[in-house]
Structure 1
Amino acid sequence: MKKLILPLLLTSFIISCSQKEKADLIITNSITYTVNNNFDKAESFAIKDGKFIAVGTNTEIQEKYTSTNIIDAKNKPIYPGFIDAHCHFYGLGLQQQKVNLVGTKSYDEVLQKLIDFQKKKNTLFITGRGWDQNDWEIKEFPTKDKLDKLFPSIPVAIRRIDGHAMLVNQVAIDLAGITIDSKIDGGEFIKKEGKLTGVLIDNAMNFIKVPQPNKAAQIQALKDAEKICFDLGLTTVDDAGLDKQVIELIDSLQKSGDLKMRIYAMISNNKENLDYYLNKGIIKTNRLNVRSVKVYADGALGSRGAALKDQYSDKKGHFGALVNSYENLQKLALRISNSKYQMNTHAIGDSANYVMLKTYNNVLKNKGDRRWRIEHAQIVDLKDFHHFKNILPSIQPTHATSDMYWAEDRVGSHRIKGAYAYNDLLKQYGKVALGTDFPIENVSPLYTYYAATIRKDLKGYPENGYQINNALTREDALRGMTIWNAYANFEESEKGSIEIGKVADFVILENDIITIEGNKIPKTKVKSTYINGEKVN
């Protein structure tokens, strides 16, 4: 009789397994934050054909499903794949091919990096990005004098970290045909003692024609950016401003399997893009979503290009400026409102925010659920917050912790109360979309989470957090990096939470960012990133 026990047990096991549904991947023993409507947690989930097919306890999943690929998460936290609602993905990739000036502490350090780069690359046109005079001991715009001596025959054009100012040398000025008398609406040629300093603000930068990368360089840029993002837990990126040629290249690489990142592409506001995409309509694939227009209302606060209602506190008589005329913004908004596209407008200053909020609310009357976005919503008049009731704020928390050292100098003690006011914005619309604006800021979504919730820089300053009353809760910050960003992209039914039927995009972290001490959040490592149930880092 004993001889029959083992065959019977084996037969029972085989029958039991044959009755279970086969999954491509099962995760067990996890602390999974589903970010569903109830913000439920789960221990286990199963994936098949790139989608979640079950979410529950270890027992529930193991009783119903089987797989040849079962991963024990060993009690590690799992979250929906992180989504960056505002970044420059392609620009990040291109930056890897240029001089990286982020973090430079003086103009002399900038110059040394240019010298080292040119010795290594020997390019015909030196480009780069990342300098910020607010980080230098002398917090003034540089001049081109030293550039001219170092590079008397090679053009140099290096952008400020926010992308709204550029320093060029005389060779680049001559190539562009810029003179002391040059003028342009929505921009400025900075002068000192009656001479050009080489600093160009906003639309003035359009005079500089930097050589464009060839196709091979573009492909490499996209792949470089993808690797950086996957390593940091990002599974979808909202690229804020792309042209048709780059979008079509992205689409082709995604279809061939050479690019796996999901991309929500905002088209750049130019005639070619508008004529093509607004007429063609929304373009949606499993990995690409083209349904919005990126528009600039003003410049940046750091370069005093943000349009303010009253003069800058640290530059009397200066108000910044709209980079598109009021009339053009009105016409553009009306045109986009008659399409299916969203209008996502960069607005930093309180004047720019007011203009765009009023414009949006006027043209969207009786237009239904359009989810138009104000990108940055950085300085908002306290009287104007109510205008966000039907307009989605798309904000970048690390801007607050980067700008906090000097922002009040720009706008004064009263206006700063409406600056970087993320919780106040959340109260108006009920959701906020969170991003980084990388490569202006660091790519890491965990830095975004830390800045949104703890409101400190990476050195732990200030002790009690910057304007801590406008911090987001940890739960809301996680929603703002996942489901609310999916909502901002009209994709909440397919991603942004770990629920049955949604794409299996998720990230496994070393520490639980919902519960750990605040200072440990930015130090937390990403263990694995998955898209469609496939490990991609």
Structure 2
Amino acid sequence: MKKLLPILLCPIVWLLILQCTTNKEVDLIVYNANIYTVDSSFSQVQAFAVKNGVFVDIGTTQEIRDKYIAKEEFDAEGKPIYPGFYDAHAHFFMLAELLEQVDLNGTRSLGEVIEKLKAYQKAYPDKKWITGGGWDQNLWEDKTFPTKDSLDKYFPETAIFLSRVDYHAALVNSKALEIAHVDSAHVVEGGLIAADSIGMPTGLLIDNAMQLVSQHIPDPEERPLLLGLRRAQDSLFSVGLTSIVDAGLTLEQLEYLKKFYQQDSLKIRDYAMIAGNPNSIEKYIKEGFYESDRLSIRSVKLMADGALGSRGACLLDHYHDAPTRGFLLHSPQEFDQVIKKLANSDFQVNTHAIGDSANRLMLDTYGKYLKNGKKRRWRIEHAQVIAPADFSKFAQFHIIPSVQPSHATSDMYWAEERLGPTRIKGAYAYKELLKQYGKLALGSDFPVEHFNPLYGFHAAVARVDKTGFPNGGFQTENAITREDALRGMTIWAAFASFQEKKRGSIERGKDADFVVLDNDIMTAELPDLRLIKTLRTVIGGETVFHR
């Protein structure tokens, strides 16, 4: 029996050894890295372990490699690693559409626009509609708004719809107006049909007037739509984005997203806002929240006004360069009613507000109905022009400023012309907004701006464009620190979407979303920030992009 005992014990001993090894088995170990965890103390570590799509441990390279056995190991060779980048305000469907349309970003004249349209028509001669986006008359020598005359000359039988860079104005031709039965410059609530000297449409449509024509553009079919979203997703992965806020989707678009995510056809994490208006909000409230691993629908986006570049932003006083104050897209009474309804629901409210009048109205209306602002986390999207007396309301009512730093460096060439030397001081005031609320949710507003989050990071901390203009920076008193900028595109963006316990930092138990860059954005020279490349993007422990 004594000789038999060791033989009997051997399987037990081996079983204990195997159990011990199994307990320490993980899917991935990343080591020899410079990891910015973006936790509460902004700590840096060398390594972490991932299992079942979450971070299970972090520490030194020796600690993690001694403690765990992994199916896959990744030696970062000293490269910097950050939580997956989170774009707090974006337009996924619009980016997918633009990738299939005529991209007019950076065009320097209407003539260049025409040439791009002619090239597109040559490539796709059977298309009955040509759509595009990205033109900005502020970049042209002639800064007046274009008209349909040139479009009519070259495209008499093809309908043309060209969104301005801010997507708050569009240039259309006579064929598009004919299809939409728009034959006069009549009044449109919350919009404008620009007219010539005899009252006929010039082809320029602003804000709500755009819908008169856009509703006639054929919707993409399901498969091309999915392929377009995948193509857009690949572009986002290539710059380190793992999560986005989809700022305003129709019910049809939301249903497509639900279907695509249920089929595992999309991987990027999407916090989708319902595009709401005062007339349809009841329908959204009844449907309630939708939550899955990659898709969340629990907020409503309202539109208070238009954009500064197209003079649709609603200002307290006249534009400095035009006898107009812009306009609201709905009446104050309508906004009051819808905010009251939403305050009695569980939905988060996020409102596009550009002008100081629109911001004041929405801040005051939020404050009127919010009973627990800190818990509700309602947001102002853009918060672009704020009157001095209104900054404190972000703190008073616990309203999150959701801003896009690239807007400051895109608009700075002409913003003072619109606002004047005094009012411009309350525009793009990110440091002051941070001081008030204590957090900023940072996004890009793509495709209005480029989707690369490092462009926004650069704009936030340097306040210059890609060429380094202006020397010394634009209103640098409102630049923010690199640490705050990184928090804004990770943990604070997650907080603004009720997701800070799941993602936004590299901590035990959180989703293993992270990005590896070829240079450290926390220490690189300012001119080099926009040149830094993404080496690897990982979502839930799965590599979705690598260079």
Hey, what's the Cα distance between the residues in 2 that align with 1:322 and 1:276? 23
Give 2:428's aligned amino acid.
Y
Partner residue in 1 for 2:261: 254
Per the alignment, residue 7 of structure 1 pairs with none
Deviation (angstroms), 1:98:
0.9
- Pairs within 5 Å for 1:208-287: 208=213, 209-270=216-277, 274-287=281-294
Paired letter, 1:186: G
Q: 2:493 maps to what in 1?
A: 485
Deviation, 1:210, is: 1.5
Q: Which residue of 1 aligns with 2:11?
A: none
Displacement of 1:15: 8.2
Deviations 1:94-138 (A, max 9, x none): 111111111101100001101111110121111111100001011
What is the Cα deviation at residue 254 of structure 1?
A: 1.8
1:329 to 335, 340, 348: 335
Question: Normalising by structure 1, what TM-score?
Answer: 0.95
- Give the Cα–Cα distance (whole angstroms) in 1 for the partners of residues 374 and 470 of structure 2: 43
Q: What residue in structure 2 maps to residue 4 of structure 1?
A: none
Aligned CA distance change for structure 1 residues 19 and 110 (closer, same or farther; 3 Å): closer
Distance 2:119 2:134 in 1: 16
**Distance in structure 1 (CA, Å) of the matches to 2:280 and 2:75:** 47
Paired residue type of 2:211: N
Is the contact between residue 17 and residue 66 of structure 1 (CA under 8 Å) also seen in structure 2?
no
Matched, 1:147 2:151: yes
Counterpart check, 1:351 vs 2:354 = no
1:129 lines up with 2:133 in the alignment: yes
Partner of residue 107, structure 2? 104
Instruction: Provide the rounded CA distance (Å) in 2 between the counterparts of 1:273 and 1:70.
Output: 51
Measured in 1, the distance between the counterparts of 2:281 and 2:385 equals 29
**1:414-472 CA deviation, whole Å, 9 max, x = no partner?**
00000000000000000010000000000000001000111110011111111111011
Q: CA shift at 1:45, angstroms? A: 0.1
Aligned partner (choices 408, 411, 434) of residue 416 of structure 2:
408
Partner of residue 391, structure 1: 399
CA-atom RMSD in angstroms: 1.5
Mapped contact 2:104–2:133 kept (Cα < 8 A)? yes
For 2:219 and 2:278, the matched residues in 1 are separated by: 19
Contact in 2 for aligned 1:187/1:203 (Cα 8 Å):
yes
How far is the alpha carbon of 1:325 from its aligned partner?
1.0
Map 1:122-521 to 2 at 5 A: 122=125, 123-194=127-198, 195-208=200-213, 209-270=216-277, 274-315=281-322, 317-366=323-372, 369-389=375-395, 390-521=398-529
**Residue 120 of structure 2 aligns to a residue in which SS?**
helix
- Shift in Å at residue 366 of structure 1? 4.3
Partner secondary structure for residue 71 of structure 1: strand
Q: Secondary structure at the match of 1:302?
A: coil
Contact 2:185 2:193 in 1 (8 A): no
1:504-525 CA-to-partner distances (Å, cap 9, x unmatched) read 0000001000011111110000
Q: Is the 8 A contact 1:144 1:167 kept in 2?
A: yes
> Contact between 2:185 and 2:201, CA under 8 Å: does it hold in 1?
no
- Aligned-partner residue type, residue 105 of structure 1: R
**1:255 offset after TM fit, Å?**
2.4
Q: CA deviation at 1:174?
A: 1.5
Distance 1:17 1:369 in 2: 43
What one-letter code is carried by the residue in structure 2 that aligns with 1:107? L
SS at match of 2:375: coil
SS of 1:249's equivalent in the other structure is helix
- For structure 1, the 5+ residue unaligned runs are 1-10
Of all paired residues, the percent bearing the same amino acid is 49
Gaps of 5+ in 2: 1-13
